Amino acid sequence: MSKVLVPKSAVELALTQASRHLRENVEPRLLNEFKQMKTSMLSDFDEHPVTKELQQKTSADPSAFTSYGSLFGFIGFEESDEPAEVVREMLEKSELKFIKTKKGGVLDFKVFYPSKEELFSATPLPWAGGRSWLRGIESGISGFGRYLNVENEASRSGKGIQAKNQLRSTRFKATKYISKILNDFIQKIEKLSL
């Protein structure tokens, strides 16, 4: 068998051209697929009953999650707060980045999105620093048995205060919220391929 010597510069030129061709054809397709996945995630977030209730503030009475009063009032947000917007803004920053082209024309990419822990850190309970209302939606928030759904000047939300004594034995109904939205998004991202 005879050996064929190919100049190094010719090999490098071929790899550069193959890489450029691959990037020109693959990058737009991947960006479009990612955009659709991100749009779907944001739609899932916007359409989730928790998001809708938080956006309705105290007008979401009765709540599907507290069985008495509103979720917004129970959590104790200020009337001017937009808690769902904080989460949405973080989700909107999700992006796909092409990080490098390796020799051989292989294109690499990474998807960046907020972790649950980052989202939990950005969503503190208004009355309990260090605890996240977003985590509480999924795991439960204590104090529902003392929640009074009344208009009161002492109320942050304008509609709801905590009584000193237990008023009822019912509990806050925890629900999968951001975990489900992120897990669905991650499952879709894992199907992205060159």
pLDDT in tens, 113-146: 999 999 999 999 887 778 898 998 998 776 554 4
Rounded average pLDDT over 2-19: 54
Task: Sketch the domain layout of the chain as residue ranges.
Answer: 9-189
Q: What residues contact 55, with CB distance under 8 A and at least 6 apart?
A: 82, 84
Q: How confident is the model at residue 150 (pLDDT cuts 50, 70, 90)?
A: low
The 10s digit of each residue's pLDDT in 54-93 is 998 866 566 676 666 778 877 888 888 999 999 999 999 9
CA angle 95, 97, 101 (to 5 degrees): 170
pTM: predicted TM-score of the whole model, two decimal places: 0.77
